[in-house]
Structure 1
Amino acid sequence: MRTNWTGSAGDPVWIRPDWSTDRVRGIFSFREGGVSDAPYQSLNVGYHVGDDAAAVTENRRRCAEKIGATLEDLVVPEQVHGAGVAVVTEAHRGRGSTPAFPPIPGVDGVVSNVPGLTLTIMAADCVPMLFYDATAGVIGAAHSGWRGTVSHISREVLRTMSEAFSSRPEDVDVWLGPSIRRCCYEVDERVAQPVAESFGHGPLLPRHARPGKYLLSLQACIRMDLQSAGVSEEHIHDVGVCTACHTHVLYSHRAEHGRTGRLLGAIRLA
């Protein structure tokens, strides 16, 4: 796990992947530093959760500014809890950035080699992932809930980067952002069975005195997928922050019973 914090709960908090180059910028947002009212206070970036749209737009603008982008640079996938990945070009600039521009339909991942485009993911327990291949000059972003994880979206991102841009998995650096972790993520057999079929029982911890209940590590599953695809262990960075444990600074759909905002993961080539 690698964590690079700036700020505090009372002053906007961010995690920035520490890529040792000026060619790429990325962030994972926390919930402080925005303009939304409760229960979305304050840096909610999700339009679909019931928050005031003008507040969300301002919050997204602030997030974009943090990595040198504008609101119009954002590109947002629809996020349907699948494993679809789209190649993003200049023609997609601004898709999903505001309600006036629909997101990239039917996908949970996006990849691009266009400087200035800001690939954006929203999450509130699911794992936001950022991908960067410095050799090929390619970036990617993906949203991985349990369905996307068992559908191997992380491998699909790597495959799409390879097919579209000749990227090699061994050259790709991947960051897993704030998300619900095994300490808080209880699942039943409906989820545990497909997880076990895809990854074995290692990521699942049976709960004591709770038959049919397990604690699940999505991060362990994703790490297994990435390594099996050829990403080296030292190129996989897990920030190690649990959304459900820290609702004072993060949004958690589960811990907050579905009424909460969304965090942002974003990456752009300079």
Structure 2
Amino acid sequence: MEPFIWNPRQEQPERFDLNSWNSMLPGLSVGFTGRSGGIGRSPYDSLNLAYHVGDDPVMVKENRRKLVEELGFSSNSWVCGEQVHGVRVAIVKDSDRGKGYSDRSSAFQDTDALVTNVPDVLLTSFYADCVPLYFLDPVHHVVGLAHAGWKGTVGRIAEAVIETMETEYDSCRSDIMTAIGPSIGQCCYEVDEVVMSKVGEAIPLTEGATSNPNLITASRNNDRTMLNLKELNRIIMIEAGILPTHIECTSWCTSCHPDKFFSYREQNGITGRMASWIGMKVR
């Protein structure tokens, strides 16, 4: 069953809510935005939430305001990183509220993952095909996000977040819940031998792995492969100690649904960005 439930709201930010988590803890809010319900103009129409793509920053900030208001948070709750396709994990403290909300310079620099146990902090990150990863320790009330393109995935950013939760908050890996959100699917993600060599460094590409159609299939183009980044992240999560039953994985492909999502590949690199979010409201 699809865990990210489409929640179209006329003239409001389009959302894909992770309902199974939203009911797990009082005040927990988790999900992913679509591309409608904002104020942007083409090619960023309409709910672009990222400053770095060339959109009007006034419109981006208004879209962010609409989203936090819709979710029941304040603008001062918003925290994000300046993403670089790396594996750095930032620990978000109470004093970090508002980082990155109004401008790029105030965000956590060179950061693709965030974790916190502070209530009323809304962790966010941005996407147009890359894989959003979500983390929840329901015992210690710790939440996290990671932005995983192919570089972050093979760098095992998922494992970096899990290790941070364990060392900083005493999270137990068998308690941690994870989710893999809307992103480009294996149906549309064609990669070359350079990427596949890095995949082989991230996980052993045994005969079983290379014959797993859920991970790798042949492309119609010679020397290219159709890669399932979602499945690759799931494998890495399991290797890092996450129980398979504690992993939710979407079936949404951002490239297949340009009416609902921004897609870097589908729109030739000129497009807006969706946002993932996770936060615990004060109750």
Please indicate the TM-score interval, normalised by the length of the shorter structure.
over 0.9
CA shift, 1:8, in A, is 6.8
Per-residue deviation, residues 221-259 of structure 1 (Å, max 9, x unmatched): 100011111111121111211010011110001110010
Structure 1 distance, partners of 2:165, 2:104, is 29
Matched, 1:146 2:150: yes
SS in 2 for 1:28: strand
- The share of aligned pairs that are identical, in percent, is 37
Q: 2:265: which partner in 1?
A: 254
Matched, 1:47 2:59: no
Query: Normalised by the size of structure 2, how large is the TM-score?
Result: 0.91
Matched, 1:269 2:269: no
Per-residue deviation, residues 38-92 of structure 1 (Å, max 9, x unmatched): 1100000011111111100011111212321122211101111011101110111
Q: 2:201: which partner in 1?
A: 197
Counterpart mapping for 1:1-270 below 5 A: 1-7=2-8, 12-18=13-19, 19=21, 20=23, 21-99=25-103, 102-199=106-203, 200=205, 201=210, 202=212, 203-208=215-220, 210-270=221-281
CA shift, 1:197, in A, is 2.7
CA shift, 1:193, in A, is 1.1
Structure 2 distance, partners of 1:46, 1:100, is 9
Structure 1 distance, partners of 2:173, 2:161, is 10
Cα distance change of structure 1 residues 11 and 114 upon mapping to structure 2, 3 Å threshold: closer
The unaligned stretches of length 5 or more in structure 2 are none
Structure 1 distance, partners of 2:125, 2:172, is 23
Structure 2 distance, partners of 1:136, 1:193, is 38
Structure 1 distance, partners of 2:14, 2:41, is 18
Cα distance change of structure 1 residues 11 and 55 upon mapping to structure 2, 3 Å threshold: closer
Structure 1 distance, partners of 2:141, 2:156, is 23
Per-residue deviation, residues 179-227 of structure 1 (Å, max 9, x unmatched): 001000011111111112323234222213x221110100011000111
SS in 2 for 1:174: strand
Cα distance change of structure 1 residues 32 and 192 upon mapping to structure 2, 3 Å threshold: same
Per-residue deviation, residues 129-187 of structure 1 (Å, max 9, x unmatched): 12111101100011000000000000000000111000112111112111001000011
Structure 2 distance, partners of 1:12, 1:121, is 16
CA shift, 1:101, in A, is 5.1
SS in 2 for 1:148: helix
Question: Is the 8 Å Cα contact of residues 46 and 261 (structure 1) preserved in structure 2?
Answer: yes
Letter in 2 for 1:155: E
Across the two proteins, how many residue pairs are aligned to each other? 269
SS in 2 for 1:226: helix
SS in 1 for 2:177: strand
SS in 2 for 1:237: strand
CA shift, 1:9, in A, is 8.6
Structure 1 distance, partners of 2:160, 2:27, is 24
Structure 1 distance, partners of 2:168, 2:118, is 12
